[in-house]
Structure formats: structure tokens, C-alpha cells
Amino acid sequence: MKLDVLKIDGTASGKQVELDDAIFGIEPNDHAIYLDVKQYLAAQRHGTHKTKDRSEVAFSTKKMGRQKGGGGARHGSIKSNIYVGGGNAFGPKPRDYNFKLNKKLKQLARYSALSYKAKDNAITMVEPFTMEAPKTKDFIKILDNLKANGRKTLVVLPENSKNIYLSSRNLPEVKVITIDEINTYTLVDANHLVLVDGVQDILVERRK
């Protein structure tokens, strides 16, 4: 798949890049995408939820009544879960929700998400650029020139650029990441993908 590399003013730079079919042209695997997104979301959970059981609630430990002759069931403690304010019988406990996925499967998921973007013509290639200072207005103008504004946009940089990141930080529909931070969830969550020229070469190099 060939893409024209655009300048930040939206005009063609005269350069074309060839996207590797092994990354941007595979048959997408929906189940791999599902598992990788599921793992990403699971890793975001703190897992600190907890309720107190009957050994932890602060109540009297005195036996409520005699064992026999009361005319009803036996009760040994007011901490029982059948009483208001008693302990929780099967409440949640702190746990780690993360689970392991093989590297090859995660790679397949990323390539599947990239291939979907390529099939939908939702990838824009732009030549490398810098910003002298954090200017959100200037960054919005760049996105408008690239016709990538007004929808969820993911901008992928070859390396970190503080000014570009700060310029985009206040835009809720725009996310700027480096190639090291790319993952299946952010790819799937975005409607449009803006790649800075050079990112595709890094992806090919890391595939080897």
C-alpha cells in the first residue's frame, strides 16, 4: 500500500512511502484484538475493592442468646451476614486482574488493528515536524490541514516531542504517543491515524 507524505500545511511533499503488507495488509484477527484490548483494560483496574467479612466488622462478640430454648434458630454472633451491619458473606477482595498474553499474539493484534486502519483509508502520513513552543492553536491548524480534526485522532511520533505533546494535551479527541507507546487499544479507539514519516520503518525493523 502506497501513501503520499503530506506537509503540515496539507500539501503533498512529493514523497511516497510503501507500507509493509506484513504489518498494514494482513487479514485482521478479531479475536486477537479482543484479547489484547481485554488485557489492556484489565491492567488499568486497581483491584483494590474490598468488603469486610464477619471477622472484620466492629461489633460485640457476645453471644446473642441461649443455645437452646429460645424458640428459634441458634445465633452465635451479631456479626453474621444475616443481620443489618453484619459482615459480607462473599464480598470482593483485592486482586490483580492482569493476565498474560504471548508476544506473538499481541503483535498479531497490533498488526490487525493497523490493517483495519489501512483498509478503511484512515491513515495519514505526514513528514517529520517540530513545534518551537507549545501552541494548541497551531496544532489544531495542523490537524485541520491534514483533515484529521473533528474525530478521534491518534498521532504517532518516532520519538518523544515535548512541545507537540503539550500542544495536544488539552484536546480530548486527540492523543499523541511515540512508537514505543503504541498498543492495540489506542489504535482501535482512534477513528483516524496520523503517522509521522519514519514510524513505518521502525515497525518493520522491530518485526525482524
pLDDT score for 148: 86
Question: Are the C-beta atoms of residues 41 and 189 closer than 8 Å to each other?
Answer: no
**Class at the top of the CATH hierarchy for domain 2-46+101-207:** alpha beta
Q: d(Cα 119, Cα 198) in Å, to the nearest integer?
A: 20
Q: Which ranges in the chain are annotated with CATH 3.40.1370.10?
A: 2-46+101-207
pLDDT score for 72: 87
Q: Per residue of the chain (208 residues), what is the pLDDT tens digit?
A: 888 999 999 898 889 999 999 999 999 999 999 999 999 999 999 999 999 999 999 988 888 888 898 888 888 889 999 988 899 999 999 999 999 999 999 999 999 999 999 999 999 999 999 999 999 999 999 999 998 877 899 999 999 999 999 999 999 999 999 999 999 999 999 999 999 999 999 999 988 6
